[in-house]
Amino acid sequence: MNIAEFSIRNKVLCAIAIIVTLLAGWNAFKNMVRLEDPEFIIRQAQVITYYPGATPKQVAEEVTDPLETAIQQLAEVKEITSVSSNGKSEISVEIKYEASKSKNQLQTVWTKLRNKVNDARRSLPPGASDSIVADDFGDLFGMYYFVTGEDYSIAQLRTYAKSFRDELLQVPGIARVQLAGESSPAIYVAFSREKMQALGVSVSQIYQSLQQRNIVVDAGNTRVGDLRMSITPTGGIDSIQDLNNTLISTSDKGNLIHLSDIATVTHGEKQPDSTIMYFNGKRAIAIGVSAVSGENVVKLGKRVEAKVAESVSARPLGMQVEQFYQQGQEVEASINNFVENVIAALAIVVITLLIFMGMRPAIVIGAILLLTIAATLAVMNISGIPMHRISLGALIIALGMMVDNAIVVTEGMLIGINKGENKLAVAKRIIKQTIWPLLGGTLVGCVAFAPIGFAPGSTAEFTGSLFWVIFISLIFSWVFAITLTPLFCHDLFKQPKTASGEYTDSALSVKYKAFVRNAIQHRWKVISLTVALFVASVYGFNFVKSGFFPASTTPQIVVDFWMPEGTDIKTTQDRMKKLETYLQKLEHVNTVETSVGAGGLRYMLVYPPQSPNSSYGQALVIVDDYKNIDAMLGKIQQHIDNEFPAAQAKVWRFQLGPVGGSKIQVEFSGPNPSVLRDLADQAKAIMHHDGGAISIKDNWRQQVAAIEPIFNEAKARQAGVTRQDIAQALKQTYSGRDIGVYRDGNTLVPIIAIAPHDEQVDLADIGQVQVLSSSGAVVSLDSVVSGFKTVWRDNLMRRENRSWMIKAEADPLPGELASDLRNRLVPQMDKIQLPNGYKMEWGGEYKDSKDSQDDLASTLPLGLGTMVIIVFLLFGTVKQPVLIWCVVPLALIGVVVGLLSTGIPMEFMGILGLLSLSGLLVKNAIVLVDQIDLEIKEGKPRLDAIVDAATSRVRPVTMGALTTVLGIIPLFFDAFFKSMSVVLGFGLTFATLLTLIVMPVLYSVFFKVGNDERKTAM
């Protein structure tokens, strides 16, 4: 039984299917996971190892190198980058996409990484800490709050923030709650060397007493009757007073004294601070909340908001929990906006159908469209595709394509019924004729997007759901076109009272027939003109601007602020407070969040946090409308350049998609760090000379000064002093020396030995620092060193894949494309003379874009090959498929016209649109060529068959193109899809018009159809 006949004869079954589809779609819409942007896996982990006292070079050679050697043995590793600084090795490990397509696979790789790092522990020098493998680098804290209180100390804010963190962890759906900027408590013990000497107390005795008293001891347990009771001796340190009362024996007579007799104990904050945060000018502690994977962040956000509101009554008076970013609210607003766009696109499509096809056909096609959307949402929900920017954008793109199949069936049935044919017979005939061509066209349309769905890499992963949503929707559109469309047409279309059996052409159809006949008669002129247009478009494409991903519409400005490398955090804090005051006074500014010493928590996937550095500060500014951002960027940048001449700053806005870092990067690699610095300086000079670059720097930053006491071994041996004694004396004098920990509840508070105020010495008097030997003898530093010298050295030494690498970095002026700046810099950069063994490559946006395009290109041959095979299988010949593929390049004509006329760059999404255009054009061409072949088989003269077939397919083809073009109009106003909407809109418009003219002409050429092959002379 014909499938159309089955549907018409089983209306109850079809009604049940319709009801189930609508209910499933509505249920999915209400309950499916909602996100602002698609999740993409951050395949990076950090391996952090501390090596106190080591220079950056020593860290690189003794710690970083053996760890990198071990890590690179993993076959899953794509890239290893490292930065070695004073006493710290930080290695970033990126994993190959093919080895970590899911989070479960990635966790397996992290386990292997930990095993390799643990095995390399034997190769590390004495004094190096155990390596920390941080694989939560990509955790997203989408609900971002700040605890503030003007009359409260940072310790009081921290106490409340910790208790509030515990409350938040009780909310269902929360995976993790992270604090930042909370500072660290510390207990400072200021030892008086004069009193220690007078009482005969040695340093080792003090440390031994503190360690013995502060450890947790196990005294076992015993049986008491029927019970077993544990034995827990007291005597530990439970308070500052207990610490003061710690007994210490003197070294000469064994007398006991209290710690308070020789030292002053104070409770405070560890100095210097590692990270300092402010919220609207008030000292603050950040609280980041991350959701369990797959959780509906809109619903979770509301539960978190309820918890915040509930906590008000228990919060100390004057203390506040202020919201900076709430992913749930952002997602809800974004989804609602996109749903409005979907409804607008749906309305545009239905109104277009209503105008050009009439009420009843519009109702039929509109109903099929609604069912297709419902079925698509249901399958998205079942298969775990969330509702976000990409999936909803795919629905809008697919709206026009969804109606193509239904239009062809509806048009065929409408013509047949108007001729007076039996409704059931018409339905059977139309479906029999079109079922396979429509399937082939649908599959080609799907496969055109396949390179996006199957390409490797984070960019394709970000946009991959575009393919799957379009695939699902188009398959359903075909299913409903051959099942429910005949049923709706059968029941809604009325049989004309009188029918001649012939279908009368409209005036427009008559004119089109005449035009096509004329074009075929002048076939070579038409082909020549088409080729000329194509050649002109190829030339014009050279003037199309290129881009990667557009700027985000998030109403936030980011200010990255760098003082010279090595700047004390207090100085950076002072400058950032001045900048913060300026930003708060700007018009349109609602909120300013300031961090000093590091970036904030990753609250958006497109926000890359900055590693800790005392010379770094960042301001995140929320404005009232993202449209005001462009005008503010230059103003803020100019203010910083004028008011903070010693600083380097970059004022920027977030980008959509997986990007980050400076947009312009010139990478130099080679064996000698000094040569690399010289090459980077040459590159930076070129950037400065251009005049169109800002935030010019290199990622090794400036060299820093270091003081080197020249150790005299002979003098030191005579005085009984070791290098360690000197280091400990200097550390205790200037920064403090850790000598133990104090347990304060669940917090381990470091106990730090410092010099009393009256024994502290300025750097100019460093030689007067008193060095205490392990035996108790005290000598001045001058007596055990040969002098002091100041040296300049690299503070940050970076490598990539075990080779030294430095990057000269810059960004374009606000409003300028990075590609334009790079194009100006390339000729000058190419003139830099590279010594043997050194390489120069372009990184930044150029590399990211190239990598993404390469990932896409890796699956492109498979996609195109599949499309070609489908077309060949449909026709079983060679000429028709070749003919069809000849019209595909014509899409470039409209694309170039659109991009040049609007000034919009060809971005990554535009490239995806260009690829999908091929599927749309092939789909239209299949329907047209198949109809020509069908009419020739029915015995029509070949010229008449070409003209009549083209005329019969004008309305389905133009309506399909028109609904697609008009349907994507809402996407033009979305920054992410703007480039794609222009490519699809202009490309499809021009290509469709050309196809309706050129395809009949090419058919006549390919099959050598004469101008006289017709029934009557025209």
Query: pLDDT at position 1017, please?
Result: 43
Range of the domain at 973: 510-543+877-1017
CB–CB of 134/45 below 8 Å?
A: yes
Q: Give yes or no: residues 881 and 1013 share one domain.
A: yes
Residue 501 has pLDDT above 50, yes or no: yes
Give the range among 51-55, 211-215, 754-758 with minimum mean pLDDT.
211-215
Question: DSSP secondary-structure letter at 495?
Answer: P
Q: Report which of 575, 842, 558 is spatially closest to residue 695, judged by C-alpha positions.
A: 558
Query: pLDDT at position 240, please?
Result: 79
Element (H, E) at 85: strand 77-85
Question: DSSP secondary-structure letter at 128?
Answer: P
Element (H, E) at 222: strand 221-224
Report which listed range, 684-698, 711-725, 754-768, is most confident.
684-698
Query: pLDDT at position 293, please?
Result: 79
Convert the pLDDT of each residue in 843-854 to its tens digit: 988 988 888 888
Q: What is the mean pLDDT of the segment spanning 724-742?
A: 84
Q: Give yes or no: residues 1010 and 881 share one domain.
A: yes
Residues β-bridged to residue 797: 84
Query: How many other C-beta atoms lie within 10 A of the C-beta of residue 589?
Result: 19
Residue 103 belongs to a domain with what CATH number? 3.30.70.1430
Q: Say whether pTM exceeds 0.75.
A: yes
Rounded mean pLDDT of the chain?
Answer: 87
Buried/exposed code over 232-251 (b: 16+ C-beta within 10 A; e: otherwise): eeeeebeeeeebbebebbbb
Element (H, E) at 487: helix 465-492
Q: Report which of 546, 646, 398 is spatially closest to residue 979, judged by C-alpha positions.
A: 546
**Domain membership flag for residue 562:** no
Give the integer Cα–Cα distance in Å for 67 and 121: 8
Q: Give yes or no: residues 70 and 22 share one domain.
A: no
- Which of residues 743, 774, 794 is at a domain's end? 794
Give the integer Cα–Cα distance in Å for 779 and 570: 33
Query: How many other C-beta atoms lie within 10 A of the C-beta of residue 847?
Result: 13
**Domain membership flag for residue 848:** no
913 HSE (CA, 13 A, CB side): 33
User: What spatial distance separates the first Cα and last Cα of the chain, rounded to whole Å?
Assistant: 43
- Which of residues 794, 826, 846 is at a domain's end? 794
Query: pLDDT at position 763, please?
Result: 82
Residue 1018 has pLDDT above 50, yes or no: no
Query: pLDDT at position 659, please?
Result: 60
Residues 6+ apart with CB under 8 A from 126: none
**Domain membership flag for residue 88:** yes
Of all residues in the chain, what percent carry a pLDDT higher than 90?
41
**Domain membership flag for residue 184:** no
Q: Give yes or no: residues 366 and 461 share one domain.
A: yes
Residue 24 has pLDDT above 80, yes or no: yes
CB–CB of 566/704 below 8 Å?
A: yes
Query: pLDDT at position 551, please?
Result: 80
Convert the pLDDT of each residue in 831-884 to its tens digit: 999 999 999 999 988 988 888 888 878 888 888 888 889 888 888 888 899 998
Residues 6+ apart with CB under 8 A from 976: 389, 393, 549, 550, 656, 657, 909
Q: Give yes or no: residues 386 and 473 share one domain.
A: yes
Q: What is the mean pLDDT of the segment spanning 173-196?
A: 87
Residue 376 has pLDDT above 90, yes or no: yes
Residue 250 has pLDDT above 80, yes or no: no
Residues 6+ apart with CB under 8 A from 938: none
Q: Report which of 333, 389, 330 is spatially closest to residue 144, judged by C-alpha positions.
A: 330
Residue 1000: cis peptide before it, omega within 30 degrees of 0: no
β 737-744/747-754 pair status: antiparallel
**Two structure tokens written together for 485:** 């469309």
**Domain membership flag for residue 920:** yes
Residue 415 belongs to a domain with what CATH number? 1.20.1640.10
**Domain membership flag for residue 656:** no
Confidence of residue 509 (pLDDT cuts 50, 70, 90): confident
Residues 6+ apart with CB under 8 A from 765: none
Confidence of residue 776 (pLDDT cuts 50, 70, 90): low
Convert the pLDDT of each residue in 415-435 to its tens digit: 888 888 889 999 999 999 889
**Two structure tokens written together for 255:** 């007398």
Element (H, E) at 258: strand 256-258
In 831-878, alpha helices (H): 844-875
Confidence of residue 253 (pLDDT cuts 50, 70, 90): low
Residue 1 has pLDDT above 70, yes or no: no
Q: Give yes or no: residues 928 and 1013 share one domain.
A: yes
Q: Give yes or no: residues 471 and 401 share one domain.
A: yes
Convert the pLDDT of each residue in 395-417 to its tens digit: 888 877 788 888 889 988 988 88
Query: pLDDT at position 679, please?
Result: 96
Give the integer Cα–Cα distance in Å for 66 and 57: 13
Confidence of residue 590 (pLDDT cuts 50, 70, 90): very high
Give the range among 116-120, 466-470, 655-659, 974-978 with minimum mean pLDDT.
655-659
Give the integer Cα–Cα distance in Å for 752 and 187: 6
Query: pLDDT at position 387, please?
Result: 87
Query: pLDDT at position 197, please?
Result: 73
**Domain membership flag for residue 85:** yes
Q: Give yes or no: residues 15 and 79 share one domain.
A: no
Give the integer Cα–Cα distance in Å for 787 and 710: 5
Convert the pLDDT of each residue in 32-71 to its tens digit: 888 877 877 888 899 999 999 899 999 999 999 999 999 9
Give the range among 90-104, 155-169, 852-866 with minimum mean pLDDT.
852-866
Domains in the chain: how many in total? 4
Confidence of residue 658 (pLDDT cuts 50, 70, 90): low
Length of the chain: 1018
Q: Give yes or no: residues 468 and 528 share one domain.
A: no
Report which listed range, 154-163, 192-201, 772-781, is most confident.
154-163
Rg (CA), the chain: 36
- Which of residues 794, 818, 851 is at a domain's end? 794
Q: Give yes or no: residues 394 and 472 share one domain.
A: yes
Residue 446 has pLDDT above 60, yes or no: yes
Residue 365 has pLDDT above 70, yes or no: yes
| Higher-confidence position of 236 and 78 | 78
Q: Give yes or no: residues 375 and 461 share one domain.
A: yes
Q: Report which of 169, 100, 173, 168 is spatially closest to residue 135, judged by C-alpha positions.
A: 100
Convert the pLDDT of each residue in 790-811 to its tens digit: 899 999 999 999 999 999 999 8
Q: CA quadruple 42, 44, 49, 54: dihedral positive or negative?
A: negative
Three-state DSSP class for 595?
A: strand
Q: Give yes or no: residues 460 and 519 share one domain.
A: no
**Domain membership flag for residue 988:** yes
